[in-house]
Structure 1
Amino acid sequence: MLIVAVYVGYFLVFTDKSAADQNTSNALHGCTSYNPLNASVYKANLDPVLNSLAKDISTSRFGNKSQGTGGDEVYGLAQCRADFPLSHCVQCFQEARDQLALFCPTQNGGRVYVDGCFLRYANATFFAQPYDTGSSNCSSSSNSSAEKFSEKTLKLITDTVGRAPANNSFAIAWTDDSTSSTNIYALAECWESLASDGCQTCLEQAQNQIGNCLPSTQGQVLEAGCYLRYDTNSFFSLNGLAATNTDQGGGSKSKTVGISVGITGGAVLVIVAAFFAYFKFRQPTFGSERLDIYQPGDFRCQFAGEESNFGEKAVRFDYEQLREATDSFDDKNKIGEGGFGQVYKGTLQSGRQIAVKRLLASESERVTNEFWTEIEVISSVSHRNLVTLLGCCTLQDQRFLVLEYMANRSLDKHLFGKRKTSLSWEARFDIILGTARGLAYIHELHEHSHVRIVHRDIKAANILLDDKFQPKIADFGLARLFPHDRTHLTTRVGGTLGYTAPEYAVHGQLTEKADVYSYGVVVLEIISGRKSIQTGLPCDTQHLLPWTWRLYQRNEGLSIVDPRLEGKFGAEQVLKVMNIALACTHDSPSKRPSMSNVVSMLAPVSVEARPVKPTFMEIDSDAQHMLSGSTSQLGSSSAAGPSNSSASITHSLQAR
């Protein structure tokens, strides 16, 4: 069989949808069996190693780093897959880092592969280690033609493993068989720290293990120095890769692609890149088909006459394009509405579904500020638990944001809507954990940037759910960029009644701990299926937070659990999550855990949260009368006084 290798200096990929939509929650992992000699010393070495890897992987896809001596030193390595979008590498690394915090919370070493990247750290060097016991994963479904499928898959894997060591340690291959309804895709990759012979040894060991998966339709092996996977669904990017069809027998065709360093290929790449840059920047407006080659975080929306300063890259939609996608903004496509405007479901000509946020022009200054704030914030970050901004549009005084479409709408629709959904406890816990990860990411951007982000309006309505009920934080219109060298910001209060931290509502003092407080309230809503403020109930149960605390003190915390769960939950886990939520609403912002600590506490093995009486605000009868389901936004605080747990505060309310 003829196999053609493609030699290039660097690997340029115009990523297709399959790469952009990979499920990073699908992980292989392993942990050591030992704890550090001195946990604080080990962490002091681990954090700078991980921060260094994050920077390296964002620019070159690979990094290795070591720090410390005396038994608690740390060696770390991270690598993005060669076909994975470079713009997604930091997001993937952060996901891998979150996964290790969950899987290996106290151990002195661990490794994890999520779709797109690998991360490992340990207290001894492993950079040149090719293999060990390995981690494997096989799907539960099997191919109906077991013998033929296994034979074809093993042949494809052998081809792929054979090409990778000589081609910059990376190769992909796939079958293209017109006589079969099932094609097979394979990928082999070694970490850059391995020499060619070590790569060959590692992949051969992985090949021996992955054969045990057959005839399963999917198998993957993570070794110390390499990764090997096959699947009946395409899971890598093909765009931008040169490929050659060759006869493989049985009417089947296979395509194999490898990459390695070459001077000639590098020169060709420069020319290609130059043409790409020219055509990219010469066009002021991009259509829907052009959108698919851009990745989240790659652009800033910029328009003539606007004060944006967001850089030169732009993805801009024409108004006619959005009007056509939404059927002239027909009410049947309306999926959300608030004080800011409406959100419509749309379908581009390419078939891609989008959400179009149409901002009303009645309060032009406020709308414009929120419009540019949301663009600035969302387009500067990329995380699987943050909503993705796809583009923007302006038409006279109208503003449009184009966002990824979330099939299961917002969390509040499932908890409090007319058609309440009976979310299982497992689904609720995944939402609690995913939201914590998203907040931890935006709060700790100082690892990659000089600012953090404070959302200011964390609530169930701003947590969107995709088709698998995975959460994504949305609506960054009120967000504030927070310099890392500032202890707090003093600002006009913004947010939603029932979720706003008392020190912020009363004194206007804003830190990321205001988001932590709001998160704690949302977690209690998820557990109970109740709104944070629910009028029409007995007075002592209208406010979720103090009611929960009273039951918690009497060891009756499980009384708040949503009856729709019908007792199908682990009491120990629910109480653990409740403890964390109450700790997040501590009277003192400094005593509230950080969101990264919350992620760690949600791990199966973690430090127990120790809540004390939380701070909550009782709303007087006039304010309660103004509520129409606790969806009002705080405009300003009309009271300023000492922060205590029984303060009665009236707020000026503004619909949002």
Structure 2
Amino acid sequence: MAAAQDTAAFIYAGCSQTSYSPGSPYQLNVDSLLSSLTAAATSSFYINLTSSASAAGSLPTFGLFQCRGDLQSRECSACIRSALSKLSSLCPFAAGAAVQLAGCFLRYGNDAFVGKPDATVIYKKCGASSGSGQIGIRDAALSGLTGGGFGGYRAGASGYVQAVAQCVGDQTAKQCDDCVGAAVAQLKAACGYAVSGEAYLGKCFARFWCNGNGGVDIEADNHHHDNDETGRTAAIIIGLIAGVALLILFLSFVRKAGNPDKD
């Protein structure tokens, strides 16, 4: 299961530059499509639909939604409702739009995008740096997301690092592998020693995170800190001893210089 996360948390949204007029035939198609997607979310985790409810000759509207594979049906339905609410506020009257929440993805438009691969990087984020060498186990966890012809929702783990990925349901096994591979490559290249990372591409996403202390070896870090303190203390003591010794030699020289007959 994915790390604890609000399924309605906003990730990104995109709106087409073209818009439709209120009350136009195209709006009837959009409204019909979004209504059908909302109804389908109560029993499905993925669906794609085409709406041409308005008069013949108007542009059809294509749309789909995808819920994260570890959600329950009620969580999926609630997430899609939240996504629709975001679309209406962020992309009013847009001819095409997409919104990604933590738990679901929704897209519609008048271009036939369903079934087409899309590995365009749309959103990428890395967490704070752990300051420790966890790249090996992170990469091992991420490797569990790629290859092997897995299904749309995938999970991987290694040590204290966990990872998940998912493709939109319109992708073939190869398209999904290619997309997830591209997302994993983005995370490896960008996130270094980060305790978490996420990459959202046009038709997939991949995430990783660290359990417990986030992969930071606190005890080892404290030992390293203690060793540094010990080294600094030893250096100060040695410096003081050397300074005192030089002072004694200097005072002895001054006394000898002031009383040459005593030699």
Superimposed CA distance per residue, residues 479-530 of structure 1 (whole angstroms, 9 cap, x where no aligned partner): xxxxxxxxxxxxxxxxxxxxxxxxxxxxxxxxxxxxxxxxxxxxxxxxxxxx
Counterpart of 2:84 in structure 1 is 97
Counterpart of 1:32 in structure 2 is 16
Letter of the 1:121 counterpart: Y
Counterpart of 2:200 in structure 1 is 222
Counterpart of 2:30 in structure 1 is 46
Asked if structure 2 preserves the Cα contact closer than 8 Å seen for 1:73 and 1:123, the reply is yes
Counterpart of 2:136 in structure 1 is 151
Q: How far is the alpha carbon of 1:202 from its aligned partner?
A: 1.5
Matched, 1:170 2:153: yes
Distance across 1 between alignment mates of 2:43 and 2:102: 19
Asked if structure 2 preserves the Cα contact closer than 8 Å seen for 1:128 and 1:198, the reply is no
Counterpart of 2:171 in structure 1 is 194
Superimposed CA distance per residue, residues 626-652 of structure 1 (whole angstroms, 9 cap, x where no aligned partner): xxxxxxxxxxxxxxxxxxxxxxxxxxx
CA root-mean-square deviation: 2.6
The higher relative CO (CA closer than 8 Å, separation ≥ 6) is in 2
SS of match in other structure, 2:66: strand
Q: 1:208 to 1:105 in 2, by over 3 A?
A: farther
Distance across 1 between alignment mates of 2:202 and 2:23: 24
Distance across 1 between alignment mates of 2:39 and 2:25: 22
Aligned 1:293-332 pairs, distance under 5 A: none
Letter of the 2:124 counterpart: N
SS of match in other structure, 1:59: coil
5+ long unaligned stretches in structure 1: 1-14, 177-182, 235-656
Q: 1:107 to 1:57 in 2, by over 3 A?
A: same
Asked if structure 2 preserves the Cα contact closer than 8 Å seen for 1:218 and 1:232, the reply is yes
Query: Which of 59, 62, 79 does residue 43 from structure 2 map onto?
Result: 59
Aligned 1:637-656 pairs, distance under 5 A: none
SS of match in other structure, 1:111: strand
Aligned 1:139-288 pairs, distance under 5 A: 139-145=126-132, 148-163=133-148, 166-176=149-159, 183-211=160-188, 212-233=190-211
Q: How far is the alpha carbon of 1:25 from its aligned partner?
A: 2.1
Query: Which of 122, 142, 145 does residue 135 from structure 1 map onto?
Result: 122
Asked if structure 2 preserves the Cα contact closer than 8 Å seen for 1:136 and 1:209, the reply is no
Matched, 1:122 2:109: yes
Q: 1:144 to 1:108 in 2, by over 3 A?
A: same
Asked if structure 2 preserves the Cα contact closer than 8 Å seen for 1:221 and 1:227, the reply is yes
Q: TM-score, normalised by structure 2?
A: 0.70
Q: TM-score, normalised by structure 1?
A: 0.30
Distance across 2 between alignment mates of 1:132 and 1:158: 18
Q: How far is the alpha carbon of 1:101 from its aligned partner?
A: 2.2
Asked if structure 1 preserves the Cα contact closer than 8 Å seen for 2:21 and 2:93, the reply is no
Q: 1:134 to 1:100 in 2, by over 3 A?
A: farther
Distance across 1 between alignment mates of 2:123 and 2:211: 18
Asked if structure 1 preserves the Cα contact closer than 8 Å seen for 2:196 and 2:209, the reply is yes
Superimposed CA distance per residue, residues 38-96 of structure 1 (whole angstroms, 9 cap, x where no aligned partner): 77332211111112112222212111111137564211101111111112111010111
Q: How far is the alpha carbon of 1:118 from its aligned partner?
A: 1.2
Q: 1:23 to 1:87 in 2, by over 3 A?
A: closer
Asked if structure 1 preserves the Cα contact closer than 8 Å seen for 2:144 and 2:155, the reply is no
Higher helix proportion, which one?
Answer: 2
Q: 1:210 to 1:143 in 2, by over 3 A?
A: same
Aligned 1:424-463 pairs, distance under 5 A: none
Q: Specify the structure having the higher radius of gyration (Cα).
A: 2
Letter of the 1:162 counterpart: G
5+ long unaligned stretches in structure 2: 213-263
Asked if structure 2 preserves the Cα contact closer than 8 Å seen for 1:138 and 1:216, the reply is no
Instruction: Kindly tell me the number of residue pairs found equivalent between the two proteins.
Output: 208
